[in-house]
Amino acid sequence: MDMEAQGTRAAVPPTAGRRRSTSGPHRLGPRPRLDYYLILDRPAGPDAVAEAIVVEEFVRATDWTTVGLRSAGWTPAGAGWWSSAAYSRAMRADPELRARVLPVARAEADAAHRRLGGAALPDEPVLRAGFHDDQALPVTAPLRLGPSAPDGYHERRTYRVLFAGDPLAHRLAELATRWQPTDGRSTADALPAGRRRVDDDRFAWTVRRVGRGLAWSLDLTVLLAGADDRTLGPLLHELTSAVRLCGLVPMTTERFD
């Protein structure tokens, strides 16, 4: 659903304001930074300018998979921040709208908010207070596809973060360089991949095209030394954010074991 459905690009979507929430057990603890997007007046390019801002946050189950998506949006002509699950879905499913979605860091969203006459961007607790129309995401049990954990490890997990859209080639190349393994095995045209050890837990990941080239994914393999998986969430958010800033829009985080 585009904002033009109301007769103007800056109108509030008709679903805004409904109160709906996701159900089931959610992951508790510190909340990561929100995801920020600019909605442009035309497909991304040198002449495009921002006409709206959208902020989002995924709701995660206890195993770090996604079970919901919360969002809020702002336009200069609006009466404040609105919330619309339908608009978040359209950002991923509608090719015309998705071409005008630009993932950005908070600093860029703040600068756009000021340029559009909104003064300083509200703090994140204030933005979260505008999340009213949550989108529930499908929840399925992990598929048992891979081998069990190797000796010395408690559990092996594999996650896939799916993304909509097409990345900016130069951003993807920069990310591949930043994540390049220290042994130098990456090549200049390689897709981003990396690995890390956090305490006694080990992580390895790669970015690839999936679905016959229709989508992108971040695939993360985790070897947990014990039952405590608290190292997983922050790294998963860090990696997802890095790929998002290449121009992609995250859709869901699935688990394959």
Summarised one tens digit per residue, pLDDT across range 191-210 is 999 999 999 999 999 999 99
Q: How confident is the model at residue 183 (pLDDT cuts 50, 70, 90)?
A: low
Confidence band for 243, pLDDT divided at 50, 70 and 90: very high
Phi, psi of 140 (to 5 degrees): -135, 155
Beta strands in the chain (DSSP E): 35-40, 50-60, 66-74, 101-104, 135-136, 155-164, 193-198, 201-210, 215-224, 249-256
Are 78 and 68 in contact, with CB atoms under 8 Å apart? no
**Per-residue pLDDT, 139:** 83
Cβ neighbours of residue 176 under 8 Å, at least 6 residues apart?
Answer: 186, 190, 191, 192, 193
Predicted local confidence at residue 154, as pLDDT: 92
Is 131 in contact with 221 (CB distance < 8 Å)?
no
- In angstroms, what is the C-alpha Rg of the chain? 19
Question: CB within 8 A of 95, min separation 6: which ones?
Answer: none
pLDDT at 22: 56
Kindly indicate the confidence band of residue 110, based on its pLDDT and cuts at 50, 70 and 90.
Answer: very high
Mean pLDDT of the chain: 87
